[in-house]
Amino acid sequence: MSELLVPFGYDYMVKAMWVSGLVGATCAFLSAYLMLKGWSLMGDALAHAIVPGVAGAYLLHIPFAAGAFFAGFLAALGMWFVRQTSKLREDAVIGIVFTTFFAAGLLMVSIYPTAVNIQSIVLGNILGISDGDALQVVIIAAISLAILGLKWKDLMVVFFDESHARTVGLNPTALKLLFFTLLSACTVAALQTVGACLVIAMVVTPGATAYLLTDRFGRLLVLSVAIGATTSIVGAYLSFFLDGATGGIIVTLQTLLFLAAFVFAPKHGLLASRRSAKLESAA
Amino acid sequence: MSLPSISARDLTVAYPNGHVALRDVSFELASGTICGLVGVNGSGKSTLFKTIMGFVRPTRGEVRISGLSVREALKSNCVAYVPQSEEVDWNFPILVEDVVMMGRYGHMGLLRIASQEDRRKVDAALERVGMTAYRKRQIGELSGGQKKRVFLARALAQESQIILLDEPFTGVDVKTEAAIVDLLRALRERGHLMLVSTHNLGSVPEFCDQVVLINRTLLAAGPTREAFTQRNLEKAFGGVLRHFKLEGPALHDDDDSRAVTVLTDDERPLVFYGDTRASPQKETAPAVKPQKDEAGT
């Protein structure tokens, strides 16, 4: 029994667990919105777009998070701009912008090889996170969660029906800008915990899982955040025993939950739809 | 609050790609009006709506709503909007009552927490459109007519003086259509101003007291009696309308030389009888109405 408590005896493990939990919760919150608009791949795009920002920040000796955030924000803005002014579809726009940024990042890293350890950007390293970085991540996540907690209904209206949002006096453009700012910030935070590749899972899977479980957006948010936080904490905890990459374990757990919901969800699950199909054919 | 009104003055809207969607459109609408906005697809109906909603800024001229600029009017909850069905994401995880509650957001505080009064207004709006029994349904589980009623209820709960309705009769059963018309009439009695975009010509003389006909520019605007004439409609629709003219021997074998003209695109036909280029014949429309019922079944 006491063996199970061992991770709690190590400061770095405790830190990893609650930092992951906070990041997981924030990403999950955002995932609920992204999924609804078919913007799920935006998270992936931002995570990759951040790389040149990180490299640039090292070169210029400015804080890593500032560079990352700036690059992510620039990418989001770029995608929005191309989308508004051209007839290209969302997926093409996202693809073009994020590969451009990622390529620029790789180029910078290859030209100035001493600058960054690209591995830690792509894979993340929560167990080795410094106190300073941890604080940064926690501040980003806490502020984002607070803003989302205050504005979740306004964002819901904007995502559901922009015209109506206008008629009740909201400013959809400003709110979308706020949303993408938060998304960029949280991608930066998540980068350090699970790495650029797996951020996408963090901003897609919890929302998608919750979507199968409820028809009310408020509950969907609660479920999504609960899934994100729990899997992240448990994942960090398990990585102590499994000696595996934390990000990999967290995302595996999320996938398992998704599969469970996919099959067993009370209304939208595979079994439920079989059952109702059978009832209908019997009637 | 001042009486509701919409006034467009020399409105010209050009899109960034240079396409001029509307040119020099001017009209005035006042309180206690149902105005039909009639035109073919691409005539600028939706551009006009977008301009009134502040999505598009006019290149020249302006729209004033109840004496306010568009931006001020939207801020003060003056305008409600009932969207076309195609604009709505029916898979959105939201229940009927939550959609109607969105109508109350403009009356709530910063955190959008519903008060007792908000709940009461939502209940009343659902009751008014006969959707109380469906309040806990996810919106995608409803029929076409029920879906429309949800968004009407949202506009009711919003309590705006001006309501914009975008093609409210498309994909709607005959019963819901009648219910919508009843509701609009009741709102007109209470001094509301409604602007209804429609291509359902047959129903226009039945419930609109004003019409605005556009095709890239204003063709006619004014009371239905004066503006909704065969001549103006032919200007608005050109060759797009199906056009049946029943006259002479095909109609009757006396010396009466008057003709029946049926104009329709796909919905209830609009019927003119005799030398009616000046005014529509309201009475003859119901005679042809069963056609639509047949088509609906």
Cα–Cα dist B171/B180, whole Å? 13
Say which residues have a Cβ less than 8 Å from residue B14's Cβ, sequence separation at least 6. Answer: B20, B21, B59
Predicted local confidence at residue A55, as pLDDT: 81
- The pLDDT value recorded for residue A86 is 82
CA distance B222 to chain A (A): 26
Q: How confident is the model at residue B21 (pLDDT cuts 50, 70, 90)?
A: very high
What are the φ/ψ torsions at residue A270 (nearest 5 degrees)?
-60, -45
| A98 Cβ under 8 Å from any chain B Cβ | no
- pLDDT, one tens digit per residue, over B135-165 is 999 999 999 999 999 999 999 999 999 999 9
CB B210 within 8 A of CB B222: yes
| Mean pLDDT, all residues of chain A | 87
| Preferred mutation among B56, B57, B79, B92 to probe A, highest tally of A CBs within 10 A | B92
State the average pLDDT over residues B230-256: 71
- Residue B34's pLDDT band (cuts 50, 70, 90): very high
pLDDT of residue B292: 39
Please give the Cα distance from B212 to B233 (Å, whole number): 11
pTM of the model: 0.84
Confidence (pLDDT) at B250: 60
Q: Answer whether A167 sits within 8 Å of B111, measured CB to CB.
A: no
Which tokens hold the place of B122?
Answer: 């939502």
**pLDDT band at A253, cuts 50/70/90?**
very high
Instruction: Give CA–CA dist B104/B160, Å, rounded.
Output: 10
Spatial CB neighbours of A1, under 8 Å, sequence gap ≥ 6: none
Specify the residue for token string 């919760």.
A25
Among A70-74, A172-176, B15-19, B169-173, the range with the most confident prediction by mean pLDDT is A172-176
Check CB contact of A220 with chain B, cutoff 8 Å: yes
- Average pLDDT of every residue of chain B: 85
Dump pLDDT digits (tens) for B249-268.
666 666 667 777 777 665 66
Best CA proximity match to A107, nearest among A64, A69, A155, A55: A55
Question: What mean pLDDT comes out for the span A213-222?
Answer: 95
- Weakest-pLDDT range from A54-63, B7-16, B91-100: A54-63
The answer to whether the CB of A181 falls within 8 A of the CB of A233 is: no
Mean pLDDT of A8-28: 91
Evaluate whether B56 touches B47 at the Cβ level (below 8 Å).
Answer: yes
B50 or A130, which is more confident = B50
The three-state secondary structure class of B263 is strand
How far B125 CA sits from the closest chain A CA (Å)?
17
Distance CA B172, CA B230 (A): 26
By the 10 Å C-beta count (0-12 exposed, 13-18 middle, 19+ buried), B126 is classed as: buried
Asked if A149 is an interface residue toward chain B (Cβ–Cβ < 8 A), one would say: no
Residues of B in contact with A168 (CB under 8 A): 77, 102-103, 105-106, 158
Instruction: Give the rounded percent of residues in chain A with a pLDDT score beyond 70.
Output: 96
pLDDT digits (tens, 9 = 90+) for A105-119: 888 878 876 555 666
Indicate the pLDDT class of residue B59, thresholds 50, 70 and 90.
Answer: very high
Give A36's contacts in chain B (Cβ within 8 Å). 89, 92-93
Which pLDDT value is given to residue B41? 83
State the pairing for strand pair B210-214/B33-38.
Answer: parallel
Under the banding of pLDDT at 50, 70 and 90, the label for residue A31 is very high
* pLDDT confidence of residue B81: 95
Question: Given pLDDT bands bounded at 50, 70 and 90, which one contains residue A139?
Answer: very high
Of A218, A114, A272, A211, the C-alpha closest to B111 is A218
Q: What is the DSSP letter of B138?
A: B
Q: B284 pLDDT band (50/70/90 cuts)?
A: very low
Q: Which of B254, B253, B245, B249 is CA-nearest to residue B275?
A: B245
Share of chain B above pLDDT 70, in %: 84
**Is there a contact between B287 and B206 (Cβ–Cβ < 8 Å)?**
no
pLDDT at B275 exceeding the cut of 70: no
Quick: pLDDT tens for B80-106: 999 998 889 999 999 999 999 999 999
Please give the residue of chain A at the shortest CA–CA distance from B72: A169
Chain A neighbors of B95, CB-CB under 8 A = 215-216
Which of A49-53, A218-222, B211-215, B284-288 has the weakest average pLDDT?
B284-288
Mean pLDDT score, A130-144: 89
Which has more pLDDT, B256 or B8? B8
Distance of alpha carbon B275 from alpha carbon B272, whole angstroms: 8
A33 interfacial to chain B (CB closer than 8 Å):
no
Residue B18 has pLDDT above 70, yes or no: yes
Please identify among residues 113-142 of chain A the ones whose CB lies closer than 8 Å to any CB of chain B.
none
